[in-house]
Amino acid sequence: MTCDRAQCGELQRIGLKEGLQTKECCPVWEGDGSACGATSGRGFCTEVLVSDEPHGPQYPHSGIDDRERWPLAFFNRTCRCAGNYGGFNCGECRFGYWGSNCAEYRESIRRSILTLSVAEQQKFVSYLNLAKNTISRDYVISTATREEMGENGENPMFSDINTYDLFVWMHYYVSRDAFLGGPGNVWRDIDFAHESAAFLPWHRVYLLHWENELRKLTGDFNFTIPYWDWRDAQSCEVCTDALMGGRNPLSPNLISPASVFSSWKVICTQPEEYNSREALCNTTGEGPLLRNPGNHDPNRVRRLPTTADVDFTVGLSEYETGPMDRFSNMSFRNAIEGFANPMTGMAVPGQSTMHNSLHVFMNGTMSSVQGSANDPIFLLHHAFIDSIFERWLRTHQPVRTNYPRANAPIGHNDGYYMVPFLPLFRNGDYFLSNKALGFEYAYLLDPGQYRTTNMSSKGVFYRTFPPRNTVLSDLSPQRRPEVCAGVSDTLPPAGRADLAVAPGSRDPRGSRHCSHCRTDSCHEEEVEA
């Protein structure tokens, strides 16, 4: 589990202990000094009601894993935010909304990393390296299971972590194996973010959180994650020293010493060791980032995806089919995830296509699910996968009932909350267009739309819209959300005086702290991150 420092920072661990004892996670919003900003009408502390719809047979156990019926192993009361307010303590806005009153809706434009200027590419690399070398002000991670912390939380076990590795750990936690009791006794057929319906909504929320944290860290509130359009690529086009790091001329499995990524240490890459000790991954470095693109098993990945592969996959009309897992046929989700042939839609056990093929192709750290997010290419890759999800939503205009309500593998039903996010997000709530979430992809805009976007002083494109009055949970994939407008004075991130705003100037995102309490994980098995 990851928790906001307002509750579980080094000096306030007693606050976390009390939270684990009461099972209440309703932090105070510093704007008015009340839990969940209740005094200002931003939200209120309320009981968590989890879905009782049955999950599929892939996981036959009950009551042994902290992620079951998320987040009840840790908390049964959390903040519920009103209107367009968001964040763990309702101190921020929902995705896409800006300002102190969350009344302005803005679409940020994600662009191809290959079309960014040299200065923009350098800025992106520097932001990632800053995140890798800056301890998170807002979060610590759990280093033990809930059981190990004691029945009443008398032994809370948490650790500091840098901002980049926070998201690596989250991806590990959501897909790790379940501990059944005793060294090495684990259940492997479990993953709360892969191999079923939640794969696309979960990673969409993950990327949105990533953007939000980078914006807060750097003070650049126009930042967006770029994507790598790998259609028809014959090689790793982003594996250059100017971008994600070239190949080390002396050791092909390592990153070129001319790249900042050559000095990075990875975490959460040894799942079998964790299983043997029945322990969670912690922040211990486990060696350098590995990558050897193209020197993978050709029997598993015959080629990188083509434009024809993507077009056929987008044309599949059913989101989920059959068992709703990696054996599903004619399922858009299973095809885009990479367990099905992208020209027939039929499951192909033992082969990796589409999303999975890029992970295998990289032939290194990115090729194991649990540790894959260590490689910065992960972000570029998943941003493009998300854009294909967006194409499918616009093409087929599904209704909420097209997302499985019951019998999907554990963690993937419509009404299940995403592990390990707090504030809570239901899977089905993010089965909707990015038009409702405040971002757009440059290549999905027609030329006229792209020309009419605004360019910020930092060279980032965005579009603004007048206020609306729609509730996110009521949106179909094609409807725009309501708006949230306003701005508020904030302080710059700690240690970033160069990013300070002048007194009386405004931070478009409103309150700087979102006070999330989260947990995350990732699992190995078929490459599929």
Q: Per-residue pLDDT tens for 122-145?
A: 999 999 999 999 999 878 888 888
- Return the percentage of the chain with pLDDT > 70, whole number: 81
pLDDT in tens, 171-209: 999 999 999 988 889 999 999 999 999 999 999 999 999
Within 13 Å of residue 189, how many CA atoms lie on the same side as its CB? 11
Establish whether the linkage from the previous residue to 71 is cis, with ω within 30° of 0. Answer: yes
Within 13 Å of residue 166, how many CA atoms lie on the same side as its CB? 33
Please report the pLDDT score of residue 311 as a whole number: 99
Query: Cα separation of 186 and 59, whole Å?
Result: 12
- CA torsion sign for 437, 440, 444, 445 is positive
User: Phi and psi for 355 in degrees, rounded to 5?
Assistant: -50, -50
pLDDT in tens, 445-491: 977 655 445 544 444 455 555 444 333 333 333 333 332 222 222 22
Quick one: fold of 2-499?
Answer: di-copper center containing domain from catechol oxidase (1.10.1280)
Please report the pLDDT score of residue 465 as a whole number: 54
Q: Check whether 162 has a pLDDT greater than 50.
A: yes
> 315-328 as b/e, with b when 16 or more CB fall inside 10 Å?
ebebbbbebbbbeb
Mean local confidence (pLDDT), 337-342: 98
Please report the pLDDT score of residue 16 as a whole number: 61
If we measure between CA atoms, which residue out of 509, 464, 484 comes closest to residue 83?
Answer: 484
Mean local confidence (pLDDT), 351-367: 98
Mean local confidence (pLDDT), 487-496: 28
326: which 2 tokens? 């990696």
pLDDT in tens, 407-441: 999 999 999 999 999 889 999 999 999 999 999 99
If we measure between CA atoms, which residue out of 380, 351, 379, 356 comes closest to residue 368?
Answer: 356
pLDDT in tens, 24-46: 999 999 999 999 999 999 999 99
Q: pTM to 2 decimals?
A: 0.85
322: which 2 tokens? 């059959």
Q: Which residue has the higher pLDDT, 219 or 459?
A: 219
Please report the pLDDT score of residue 461 as a whole number: 54
Query: Cα separation of 306 and 51, whole Å?
Result: 39
If we measure between CA atoms, which residue out of 420, 425, 417 comes closest to residue 517?
Answer: 420
Distance of CA 326 to the CA centre of its chain: 21
pLDDT in tens, 250-305: 999 999 999 999 999 999 999 999 999 999 998 899 999 999 999 999 999 999 99
Please report the pLDDT score of residue 4 as a whole number: 58
Query: Cα separation of 170 and 172, whole Å?
Result: 5
188: which 2 tokens? 């492997």
Alpha helices per DSSP H over 152-305: 163-175, 199-218, 271-277
Q: Which residue has the higher pLDDT, 462 or 332?
A: 332
Helix (H), strand (E) at residue 377: helix 377-396
Strands 135-142 and 158-162: antiparallel
Mean local confidence (pLDDT), 392-408: 98
- CA torsion sign for 109, 113, 114, 116 is positive
Q: Check whether 508 has a pLDDT greater than 50.
A: no
**What is the residue extent of each domain of the chain?**
2-499
